[in-house]
Chains A and B, each alone.
Chain A
Amino acid sequence: MDIKRKIEKEIERKRKLIEDSEIIMEEVPKHLRPNQEFVLEIYKSQLEALEQELMKLEGEDKLESEGKLKGANKSKKEDILVNKNKLKDEYMDLENIRF
C-alpha cells in the first residue's frame, strides 16, 4: 500500500538520521551537545509516532486483505509511488554527503 510505503520510507530515513547523529555526536563540541541531544530526542519521538502510525496501518491492511482491494486503478497508483520511491532509494546516497 502506498501510504504504508511512504511511512516506511520516512521511518527508514529518520532511523538513519538518528543513527548517524549518535555517531557524529562525538564530533560536536561538548558545549553544543545538550542542544543536539534535545533535538535528537524530538526525532526519536517522531520516529516512535511514525512507527505507531505504521502499526495502525498494518492492522488495517490485514483487515483489508481479508476483504477485496478497493479502487480500480490502485495498481497504477502504486506503480507511480513505487517508481518514486525507487528513485528516492537511489538518491538516499546523498544523505552520506557532507556539504
Chain B
Amino acid sequence: MAIINVTPLIDITALIVSDDVSEGDVLLLEEGIYFQTVNITKNYIRIVAKGPQVIFDGKSILLTAFTLSNVTGTAIEGINIKQYRANGILIQSGSGNRIVNNKISNTIGNAIDVFGSSGNLIWKNEICSCSDGVRLIQGSTSNRVIENVVKECFDDGFESFLAPDSNNAFISNTAMRSRFNGLDIYGSNNLLLDNLLIDNGLGIIINEGSGSVAIGNIVKGTKLGTHFVFNEYTNYFAGENNILCNRSIGTENNSQFGIFMNNEIAYNGDNGIILGESFMANLVMDNELVCNIPENIVDGGTNNNFINNIDKPCEPCESPSDICGNCSYREDNSNEELKEGDN
C-alpha cells in the first residue's frame, strides 16, 4: 500500500484504473483547482486532501466531482467541491464508503446522492446551496449520516426518498433555511437523533413504513409545517424532541400504535399536537405543551392513551409572537442560543 501524491494536472480516474494504484492506496491531493470528474471503480481507494485548498470546480459544465460506482471502502476526505451540474458526490450501488469532512456548494443536484447503496458513512460535511443536502434513494439502507451541516438548500436538508430507504441513521445533523423539509424521512426503522432543524420550510416528515425513532431533535422556526407523521405509518417513537416557535402545528400525527413522550411542544403559531382521525392506539405521555395557539392538544383520533401531559395555556405577555419574535439565529451559535433558551 502506498501514498501517491496527486496534482490538479493528473487525471485521477485514469490513475485509479492504472496498475499504479492498488486497493488500500492513498491518493494525497495537493492544493489547487481540479477541473475534473473522478470515477472510482476500484475498492478501498482513499482520496485525501493535503490542505484546505483542494478545490474541485465543475464550472457548471461537469456532472459530478466524485462518482463511486459499485465500490466498497472508498474514502473522500477534506475536499472542497463546487459548481457541479448534478451531484457533488454520487455513490451508486456502493457500500461501506466514507465521505468525511468535505465542503460542497452550488450544485444543481443533490450535494451527496446515495443511490441503491448501503452502510456508507457521511460525516462532518458542510453543504450549502444545493438541491438536497444528503439524499438516500432506491433502496439505500443502513447508511450513517452524522454531524453534517446543510444550509440554504433549495429542496430538503436530508432525505430518505421512499419506503425501501430504511434502517438509516441521521444523527446530530443541522439543516438551516432549506426551502422544504429539514428531514424528509420515508421508510422504516430510521433513526433521527439530536438533529437541529432551524428555519426550514418544514421540519420533520415521517412517511411510508414503520418503526422509525426520533429523539432529541430540535425543530424551530419552520414556516409551512413542523412535524408530520402520515397515516398508515405504525409504531413511530418520538421522545424528547423540542418543537418550538414554529409558524404552524407543532406535531400533526395520523399514525397508529406510536409513542410520543417527553416532547416539548411550545409557542407554535397553531395547535400544539393534533391527533388526526386515523391516529389511533397511541400513547401520549409526559409531554409538555405550552402556549400553542389556539389549543395545545386536539384529539380527533380514537383509542389513544394520554398520561401526565402538561397542558399550559399562554401566560400574559407570553404568546408565540412575544416569545419567538426575536428568534433569529446566528449561524455560528444557534445551538448555544437554543440551549440557553431551554433553561
Contact = CB atoms under 8 A, between A and B. Distances in A.
A53 B225 CA distance: 28
Interface in B26-70: 35-39, 60-64, 67, 69
A28 B36 CA distance: 10
Contacts of A71: 231-232, 254, 278
A10 B180 CA distance: 15
A83 B205 CA distance: 14
Contact of B90 (A35, A42, A49): A42
A53 B161 CA distance: 13
Contacts of A77: 207, 230-231, 254
B83 A99 contact: yes
Please tell me the size bucket of the interface on A. Answer: 35 or more
Contacts of B11: 31
Given A3-B162, A42-B90, A87-B180, A72 B278 contact: yes
B13 interface: yes
B135 to A, nearest CB: 10
Given A49-B138, A72-B276, A73-B276, A36 B179 contact: no
B61 A40 contact: no
Given A24-B61, A32-B62, A72-B278, A42 B69 contact: yes
Interface residues of B, number: 46
Given A35-B37, A70-B232, A77-B231, A46 B106 contact: no
Interface of B: 11, 13, 35-39, 60-64, 67, 69, 82-83, 85-86, 90, 92, 106, 108-109, 115-116, 137-138, 154-155, 161-163, 179-180, 207-208, 224-225, 228, 230-232, 254, 276-278
Given A21-B85, A39-B37, A73-B231, 7 more contacts: A17-B85, A28-B62, A40-B63, A46-B92, A73-B254, A73-B278, A77-B230
Across the A-B interface, give the 4 residue pairs with the lowest CB-CB distance, nearest first. A98-B60, A71-B231, A35-B37, A72-B277
